[in-house]
Every structure is written in structure tokens, then in C-alpha cells.
Structure 1
Amino acid sequence: MVKKHGKKQRARQKSRRTGAAYASAAAGTTHEHTPLPNVSALEEISYLPPTGFVESADTDLAARLVAACRAGCQPCQRTLSKKVLAHDATLLGLTAAIYGELPAGPAASAVTQAWAQLAHAAEYDMGDAPEALDAFEALNAEARSELLKDALHHWAV
């Protein structure tokens, strides 16, 4: 018989809900980064959710990741970044909200610079974004990670 099954389940649920690691959820040492930033720009992107994605952008997850970046909390950034990378619509929303308006800086990766041009063009074509969406869907896991890292530098400012 499993001992303290309820406690384990509550810790697992808290870990999923907050984005904290399971160990910190079980130990009761989770923390929050407040105030959460306004990420309503993710909902205002005219071409989200794209046809290839089932779900829409998770603004709560995005806000928690941006708040962790602004606070400089590396453990939370690692945990939440993994969740964002697994959630295509949220990743696309975070990057499109930045690169639809701003150019990629010279320190950004080549992947980010190329995709930022497509996102910027899509924003000014009033939501007609097949090239940006196709390019995003073609990115591998490493390229998506670079794109998220560069976008979070902008969000953190």
C-alpha cells in the first residue's frame, strides 16, 4: 500500500499547476514571482491560434515565465521554459508578440533573426502569415529553444 498517496498527488498537481519542480512542491517551498506581467499581447496577435494548433496560447504560463525572467530566477526559468517549448501556441505567441513589433537585435541567433523578419512581415500584412507559420512549424527543438531564449531577453526588459 502506498503511504501518503494523497500528499504525493497534491504535490504532483501543485507542480503541474504552478510550474514548480515536483520536489519543491512536495517540500512546500514553491514561490511566485509577482507582479505577473501583462501578456495580453498574446491574445491580440491576429493569426493565433494557427490552424495547425489545437489549443490557444496559455497566457498564465507565459506570464509566469516572463515574471521569472524579470526576477532572474533560473530554476523557474528552466522549468517553465520546458513547458512553453512543449506548448506550441504559447511559444508562438511569446515570440510573435515581440518580433511582430521589434526587430531581432544583433546578439540574437541566426534562427531568431530569420524568423523575426517573417513575423514582422506577417504583422504588417494584417494577419496573413503563412510563411511565418510554416517557418515556425519547420523549426526543430534546438531552434525553438534559441527563439524562446532571444524572445525572453526582450520580454525581461
Structure 2
Amino acid sequence: MGRVTAGLDENVTRKDRDEQQAARRRQKANGERYQDALAAVRAQNTGHEHPAVDLLFLVNAPYACGQPIDLDLAAKVVAACRAGCVSCQTTLIPLLEADRATIAVLAGSLYVLLPGGLGSLPPVAQAWQPLAMHARLSNDGWQALAALQAMNDTDVHDLLDNVLDHWAAGGADLRFLALALHDGEDDDEDDAGPSPEYALVPGLMQASRGPLPALFLDPKTSAAGVDDLRGRCGWQPWDMTVVPEVDPFWWLRMEIATRSISEIAHTDLEGWDDVTLWQSPEPVPVARDWWDLVDRVEQVLLCGPVTCAGYDNPAAALQAAARRGEVLATVARARFW
């Protein structure tokens, strides 16, 4: 009887741990309070499906080196993590852990979007990230794949755990750029009050047509926020379900010489700027893959306000604000100078 009790206690502990892990991922994906996420996880039923996640844009990523990959399995795992479903994660993640080539694609496509030397990454991911970057730049992923195949099961588990945390939160860990905004108007009047200033958060949205570069606007002054983006900028409410149509009068201007964002502005019918939403006081380069994606699609999703303080990552902050109906958005065209 003692052995049976011990076994039951062990099973309960493992189940609790799985539920807590799933709740943590759901919290990051949806911006919920942890207790709310845990309650939702425990309410999940078996024999169900989760909203589909489209990962077909990863099919030509260089990290698998021609080896078969199972993007259908990967998509199911990501969907289960976003939903916080314990039963599906428990069933599917071990299958994915055995598929090193598919893990390489999921991990490599994520880590090349992150700045180097991130202390928040586990040691195994910090060691593997430069190999992923080399694979992306050289279009040769053999070193990255070989290193992943040589990892022991514990390191693979830790790497995949971190990768799935990021994918559950929307596909990428979003990087703050500590840049100031100037609204393009004179600041001579003392009674004018604070100007609307935002920090930019470059990120990635997973749209049905493929990845779309995004810029989240984090308000830094009291004048910045919903009223500014609705009134001055004319942006419309966005619930994150459908990507807005391209507005041909909004522009993201990129400086080629420094590979940096220089300006976000709206033009009138004659092509003159009538709203300057953001200007860079000095060049600050963005991540290479983010720049390359903007260069390829020539569009950028602009959305905000996203107040990131108090959340694990900007993606969770965005999702929480969208559920409250507090996010506005548009899609701008990109112009390279």
C-alpha cells in the first residue's frame, strides 16, 4: 500500500508540474494572470483541437540541411502551448523532442531574431544561438544541426522548453530599442504639455500569409496613448484577428547606411509629411533578420499603445491590451533611404 501511495503522490506532483508549465506558457501567450491561466488549463478537456498555427513559411529554413522535418507536429505543439493544453503538450512534446531536425528549424528561426548575448536564455540556447546565426548568414546549417544532434536529452529538453515559451508568446522575443521620439513640432511653448513619446519594440507577427515585421509603440509620456494614436494618427481599433489593410499614406523610413529605423510618418495627398509619429535622434541599427524581412515584404505592422511594464514580454503585453480593446493599428509601407 505504501508503494501505491508513493506512486500516486508522484503522479499528482508530475501532473501539477505539467499544469503549471502549461499555465506559464498560456500566461505568456495571452497576457493573463497566472491563476486565471492555471484555471483555464485545468478546465481543458481531452479529444479536442486547437486553433491552427501556420508554420509553412519555415519549410525553406536552412537549419534542417535537407533532412525531413515535421512542421505539422511542430504546429500542433505550438498551438497546444498557446492554448495551455496539458494533455496535448504531454502527448506531443516527447515526439518533438525526438525530432532534432524539426527542433533545429523551430529554434534557429527564432534565435536569429534575437540580439546576441541574451542573459535570459538558458546556457544551452546561448551556446547554440551563434551557430544558428551562422547558418542563417551562410545558408549552411550543418554545424547548428550537428551541435543539436550531439546534445544530451536534458539539453535538448531545456532548449526546446525555451523555444516553445517564445513561440507560445507569438513567435519571437521582442527587443526594446531605447530610442526617443520627437513629434516633429516645436517645443518652445512651455504650456504645450508633454509631447507624445514612444519606445519602439521591433517584433514579428505570424500572419496566415507568412511572417510580418511589426513595431509596437510603448507610451513613454502622458500625452502618448490611445487618444493620440486615434486622434492624431487616425488608427483604427485592432483585436489581433485580421491584419489591417495597408495605408498608403503611412511610411516607415529606413536608413540603408546604418541599417536603422529613421522615421515613422504620415503624408498628405501631395506627399508632404503631415504627422511625424517617431524620429530617431541618432542611428540605432535593428536586427539583421528583422531588416531583411522588412526589405522583403516592404510592409510593417504598426500597433499600440502597448505598455510593457509588468509583463514577461511585449507580446504578452500586446495580447492583454488587445483583449481590453485598447490597441489600434495600421500597416505602413517601408521606404529605404
- Could you state the TM-score of these two structures normalised by the residue count of structure 2? 0.34
Q: Which runs of 5+ in 1 are unaligned?
A: 1-27
Following superposition, the deviation at residue 44 of structure 1 comes to 2.1
1:8-47 matches, cutoff 5 A: 29-34=46-51, 36-47=52-63
Larger RCO: Structure 1 or Structure 2 (Cα < 8 Å, ≥ 6 residues apart)?
1
Query: Does 2:127 match 1:114?
Result: yes
Following superposition, the deviation at residue 74 of structure 1 comes to 2.0
**Partner residue, 1:154:** 166
CA contact (8 A) 1:109 1:150 kept: yes
> Please, which of 79, 96, 113 is the counterpart of residue 67 of structure 1?
79
Q: Which amino acid aligns with 1:121?
A: H
d(CA) in 2 for partners of 1:124, 1:133: 15
Q: Which amino acid aligns with 2:86?
A: Q
CA contact (8 A) 1:115 1:135 kept: yes
CA contact (8 A) 1:62 1:90 kept: yes
d(CA) in 1 for partners of 2:114, 2:56: 17
* Deviation digits for residues 22-79 of structure 1 (CA, Å, limit 9, x no counterpart): xxxxxx9411111x111123312124244xx4xx111110110000011111221121
Runs of 4 or more, structure 1, over 4 Å off, are none
**Partner residue, 1:24:** none
Q: Aligned residues: percent identity?
A: 40
More strand by share: 2
1:33-112 matches, cutoff 5 A: 33-34=50-51, 36-50=52-66, 53=67, 56-103=68-115, 105-112=118-125
Q: Which runs of 5+ in 2 are unaligned?
A: 1-44, 170-337
CA contact (8 A) 2:63 2:104 kept: no
More helix by share: 1
d(CA) in 2 for partners of 1:143, 1:45: 22
